[in-house]
Structure 1
Amino acid sequence: MLPSKLRPALASLSTVALLACPAAGTPEAGTKKADVEAHEAKAGDAKKTQAKTETADDTDAKEPAAAKLDAKKTQAKRAEAKKKFAAADEAKVRADRAKLLSLLNEGRKLVKGGELDAGIAKYGEVLAINPHYGPALGELGWAEFKKGNYSDAHAHTLRALPRATDNDRRGMLHYNLGRIAEAQDQTEVAVAAYELSLSLRPNDIVASRLDDLTHAVDAAGEHYVHPAVEAYENKHAPEVQAKPEAFHALAEGVSSLEEACKIADADSACMGEDPCALVATPGADQSWGLMTMGSVGFLSCWHPIVETDAGWTVFATALISQWGTEVDQDVDALSARVVANETGSYLWIDFSDHVYERDWSWGELEEDEDIPGSDMTDTEGVILCKRDTAVTCTMITTKYAYANSDDTVRERYEAKLRLRGDVIVVEDVVTEGDVDFAYNEEWNSVTLIPAGEYPFVEIAAPVHL
């Protein structure tokens, strides 16, 4: 993800030929801005023509019997991507690695010297080679925080989290998210980030900031100590519990898809170089689905979006595609349907995606370092939105496989998902390898949760940032 501030820097990268992204690489990527405009004219007809709505018994709702993802097409697309990714020339990979390290060090030097704009531009060049490179994402987020670009800093720091392979770095990045939130007077968000940071990486500075934010003295002069601070002081960190989370609502009551596109563009991981398009809608019902937007050739994003009588509600990025010489991440298939029962109507979007990459991780990229094999992640899941007095959305993974380049599975997770009234039931969970329920990978569309029952109203409460 690169912010709008980096567009001039990226415009100079015309020599990076491998960053070109054909329109066929994303579902319905050929849909242009005219689709959005046409939607405005047809809005009345679309509401009259409702999609085939399924009913679900509140006691024991059956899995919707609507169209499923096309498994053959998904496997064919993944096989083609794996073949292409594995065929990379070794000399080119080594050259890209050397360039990546050089640009990273230049960026660090510039930021350390106070040249934030120049440093941010260098980090942007790093991400044009490998959009997943953890150090560049994390350091870019911090540089943007120092410059006051809080929206970009928040998005890049979130993208760095899945690349952090140990709790120290995760704790550092959550601390950075706390600082970003605190700078925007989002006290509750900052407190939550500092809590999580302390649980992952005990640290005096984090404990002090959390204590300062939550400091209170009652009438008797007793000082309130935040539980996370107390746990830290007792050298005991609270465990992080995995559960589904709500998508952040960027805006509500938006008058048109065109306006929603502008709002998403201002906050999205992707810049709206390509027109926004409405995809993953349930049949003829064009009043909810995903809004997709592309950028400068190697990023595309999907935002859940739902229309009510009050207007459109647009959410933060749910799915992402990105391509670089070291990364192939794409959405392979989407299928949408409506499920309804006495608790309300739900938009149920099945998706599948993949991430194939060479993970240089946080290494120093020494000259004699062996070129690592590819990490292959295949995922399937469900984006679930409810249209009620408030619009809410969440996402849950149903299949996850993490393998080496030789297709040897290292981690696997499978679960069945169904609705019982307004309760999401996750059952028949099967795992293999070291599956970590306590850590959900944002930006990789992975939310691994234990079997259980999750009231929709609790896990998908609207969050506004």
Structure 2
Amino acid sequence: MALTAAGGGCKPDAEAPSAETPAELEAKAAAEPGPTPSAGEAEEAEEADPAEGAGAAVHELGSEAEPTKQAAAKPDAEAAKEVRRRLAVELEAGRAKARAKDYAGAMAHLEAALEIDPGHVATLGELGWAAFRAGELALARRTTLAGLAHAPTDDQRGMLLYNLGRIDEAEGFPETAKARYRRSLQFRDNAIVRERLAGLEAGPAAEGSETTGTAETAGAPSGGVAVEVAALADAELERALHGGLAVLARDLPDLDAVCATLAGSSNCSTTAGVDADVDEGAACTCAPTLHATPGPEDSSWGLIHFEARDLFHEAFEHPVVQTAGGWTVFAAVAYAYNPGAFGIYEDVEVRPTRTVPAGPKLGWVLVLDLAKSRHDHDIGLNETQSHADERLVLCAREREGARRAACTRPILRSVEASREILHEEIEAELDEPFDHSGVPWSRRYSARISVVGAQLRVADVQRSDMDVKLPRETFTGQLMLGAGERPLMELLGLADVAGQ
């Protein structure tokens, strides 16, 4: 992963964790966090109506800089054919082992296939399922998530979401599993997914259930299960618009504990700032310092950078916020997959962070500004894909009641994506032609986003070849909003607490 800070080419220097006492933090939480505001800004934060934003200034969000775009080198046709041949050999060998229930053997061949083509979604998904059946749940989760992040078809997304739900169940998270199954059904109606969801909603899955195949091999939808896919889609969107970003842990004593939490979720050990190779699991890196803070005078919130490396190199950016009770760490808002192989490149750019006033209930909110780009020559499919987006994440600390920390899900400012055939000339030579349904395609979205009082305003929405209903949640968890205003309290998941 290439991680850059706008204008600097490297990560900004991190600040040491605050040494303030809980009492001092309590006082600070009730005041305006962040850089010292001007008198006018302070008055605005106190007086702006959080429901209407009447009379409040408009704070435009996001950098004007274009996202970094760096293309991976294109392989020639002969090299692509050789990669395709080697991939097919390892993939079929892995599938044969999996059919024989030799999951360790399957994993060995599928890992070899990933070394050949690390962006091949089918291989990532099948390795994830083999790891799940072998009880290697951390590897199963990571490879399945990597496949989902780049799945080009709804069928693949539905299958991988189902597999993630099975992993969630195995790890003891039935509510998360149900959400995965609902999301899976939005992409592909499927009998096995419906039955699994119905079983969870009725109670714990029965011991020895025969519903153990992947969604890839599941049959056609059955009519006996009362799951309405359209209603599920609407309900999941409402959760996304009102639920805020998932919290991994609250009230942690320090940033070392934050790193330990992230390492635990990835099944690996880490020492502050030092790679730690372990016998089981990945090698992790997590420095207990924040970057993307508003400035040297406020190191109480920002991002923490976490890396995990085994078969490939993954890097994550997690929002972290300090409150009177300790540190809260949230789910990752940016992810990069860089296996160090030919033909695939990802970059996450962390831009300057700022705070803006958002009314008396929220005070000042942190605005995280990120951009991601990806270029992948998917030799296994003979296609190439490019993606670049800009996203915002807003974090806040309640000023009343529980004074919890909360963040929005990533909100897209722009998206530019395309997919096309990599080498037209090799298509005629294939015994089994590739399925290029819908390819080539190119899509764009952009919007101007601002904070007005306690409202998030979206304006000047532009779309090209993107015939989707807005608002929507992307399959990788970002919000794409239509024009209009939404209460920040809702997007943060704090509306119920605040009584709005």
Q: Is 1:411–2:443 an aligned residue pair? A: yes
Change (3 A) 1:104 1:50: same
TM-score by length of 2: 0.69
Report 1:274-423 matches (<5 A): 274-276=285-287, 277-284=289-296, 285-296=298-309, 298-323=313-338, 324-340=341-357, 341-344=359-362, 345-360=364-379, 363=381, 371-372=382-383, 374-388=384-398, 389-393=403-407, 394-403=409-418, 410-423=442-455
The 5-angstrom pairing of residues 147-226 of structure 1 reads 147-215=134-202
Shift of 1:426: 2.5
2:13 is the alignment partner of 1:39:
no
Question: Residue type of the partner of 1:278?
Answer: L
How far apart, CA to CA, are the structure 2 residues paired with 1:262 and 1:173? 28
Aligned with residue 257 of structure 2, among 236, 256, 259: 259
How much identity, in percent, do the aligned residues show?
A: 28
| Higher deviation after alignment, 261-270 or 200-209 | 261-270
Question: 2: CA distance between counterparts of 1:70 and 1:417?
Answer: 12
Query: Which SS does the other structure have where 1:64 is aligned?
Result: strand
2:293 & 2:145 partners in 1: Cα distance? 27
Q: Secondary structure at the match of 1:386?
A: strand
Q: CA deviation at 1:450?
A: 2.7
Structure 1 distance, partners of 2:378, 2:491, is 32
Which protein is richer in helix relative to its size? 1
Q: 2:480 aligns with which of 441, 444, 448?
A: 448
Off by >6 Å, runs of 4+ in structure 1: 28-32, 45-49, 228-231
Q: Contact conserved, 2:290 with 2:304, CA < 8 A, in 1?
A: yes
Distance 1:92 1:427 in 2: 46
Note the C-alpha offset of 1:355. 1.0
Which amino acid in the other structure matches residue 51 of structure 1?
P
Q: Which moved more, 1:253-262 or 1:169-178?
A: 169-178
1:7 maps to which residue?
A: none
Judge conservation of contact 2:323–2:404 (CA < 8 Å) in 1. Answer: no
Q: Is the 8 Å Cα contact of residues 74 and 343 (structure 2) preserved in structure 1?
A: no
- 1:69 aligns to 2:63 (yes or no): yes
**Given residue 348 of structure 1, which amino acid in structure 2 is its aligned partner?**
V
Partner of 2:278: none
Determine the C-alpha separation between the residues in 1 that align with 2:131 and 2:58. Answer: 45
Task: From the superposition, tell whether residues 387 and 354 of structure 1 become closer, same or farther in structure 2 (CA, over 3 Å).
Answer: same
Q: Secondary structure at the match of 1:402?
A: strand
Residues 427/90 of structure 1: CA separation in 2 closer, same or farther (3 Å cut): same
**Structure 2 letter corresponding to 1:398:** R
User: 1:405/1:52 Cα in 2 relative to 1: closer, same or farther (>3 Å)?
Assistant: farther
**Given the two structures, how large is their TM-score scaled by the length of structure 1?**
0.74
Residue type matched to 1:410 in 2?
A: S
Q: What do you get for the CA RMSD once the two structures are aligned? A: 3.8
Runs of 5+ unmatched residues, structure 1:
1-20, 217-227, 364-370
Contact 1:200 1:237 survives alignment (8 Å):
no
What are structure 2's unaligned runs of at least 5 residues? 204-220, 269-281, 422-439, 495-500
Other-structure match for 1:426: 458
SS of the equivalent of 1:342 reads coil
Q: Residue 211 of structure 1: CA displacement? A: 2.6
